[in-house]
Amino acid sequence: MPDLNQRIEAMHKRDVLVAWAFVIGLWFAVIFVALATWSLAPTGSARTLLLIGGAIVLVFNTAAIVAMLRHYREDRDFMYGLDIKFLDEARGRKG
């Protein structure tokens, strides 16, 4: 089953890449919003609260993605094997 293993590896690598792209995009978006709205915050304490809130969002979302990727790595063969099985069945019905 080297073909199946190669397909599983390719799907897993793509999902990891997309997940990290999402994390990087999220960091850039939050930093951009913080910079763009910096002058709109009425006081220094409001800015501090906004920065803390943004940092919490970034840390927890990043941790969630890392945990998701760890789970994907642990159950990779089972999860992607099912996906490939259903994709192959769907292709077989079409053509």
Which domain, by its residues, includes 68? 2-94
Q: Nearest-CA neighbor of 34 among 18, 57, 62?
A: 57
Q: Which two tokens stand for residue 48?
A: 């501090």
Domain count, the chain: 1
- Those residues of the chain that have pLDDT short of 70 are 1-2, 95
- Per DSSP, the chain holds a count of helices (H) and strands (E) of 3, 0
Per-residue confidence (pLDDT) for residue 94, from 0 to 100: 84
Per-residue confidence (pLDDT) for residue 1, from 0 to 100: 54
